[in-house]
Structure 1
Amino acid sequence: MTIDESGEQDVAHRPRIVSTAVVLWSLSAVVYLGGSAWVMSMHQAQVDAAMVNLPKTITRDQVSGLLTVGEFSALIIGVLAAAGVYLLMKANRRVRILLTVVVFLELLSQLLFGLIAAGTLLGVLGLLLLYLPRSNAYFAELKRLAV
């Protein structure tokens, strides 16, 4: 946003596709944060359920440790997604870089822990929308206005 000699501000109007991406990313953040909170609240029950089907060579501490890593991974991803939503709302032109990293983290956590597939799907769809031509034009306009 710049201010010209007349005191008026130039503003890039956010296209609907970027607003849709904001909604998808908001839902992804809520799913990850909510899923993390739910699993943390049910930690012992989750460990007990996992121990039933595992071989006796795997200890309760190992299962608990792996579950804890998964819980905090989901929490971190949720916080980063929420930060991305905030930056999208503030028209930050570099937010796509952060959200690309978040999608990679979501996909990695999906592969390692099987975490929250719905949140990952929402994040991937939100990221794809941010790289479509109308979105690219919006972010290019933000860059032009920042100069």
Structure 2
Amino acid sequence: MIRSTFLWYRARNFFRNNPSSGSSYYNVSWLYTAQSTNETITFAIQNNPSYTQIDDISVLYGTQQLIVNGGFENASQVGGSGANHLSTSNPNTGSYCYNDGVVGSPDYVWQTFYTTPGAVLWVSFWIAWGGSGGGVYTNVTIYP
């Protein structure tokens, strides 16, 4: 089952606390108006009882992909704190996904990309939560 949500125009933040658990991925996408020539997308992830998987991160300007390795397929993480959490366990597509099971405090993965102020960007990613409860949350922000 594919679950999807769509946020509109100047949305800059996605936050999900105590999500439903399962191995199915959930698609999140929105249009974002660039505020600066340098923008950073950041994922703050915590999943105390289990794991959160993120895959296929994309920021498009027309047909131009602004994110490098958004599917984590070259087996390296671009930007982040904490351990390298790439895994072959439950990717949405391809062989790898970001698979985080940090306990106690969030881990962060981010990437800065270059764009034109005022450009309308299509932002999307796929996410799955292996657990539920108060210790599970994901916060995604884009900021100049």
Determine which structure has greater relative contact order: mean sequence separation of CA pairs < 8 Å that are 6+ residues apart, divided by chain length. Answer: 2
Shorter-chain-normalised TM-score: which range?
Answer: under 0.3
Higher relative strand content: 2
Higher relative helix content: 1
Higher gyration radius (CA): 1
Instruction: Report the TM-score when normalising by structure 1.
Output: 0.26
Instruction: Report the TM-score when normalising by structure 2.
Output: 0.26
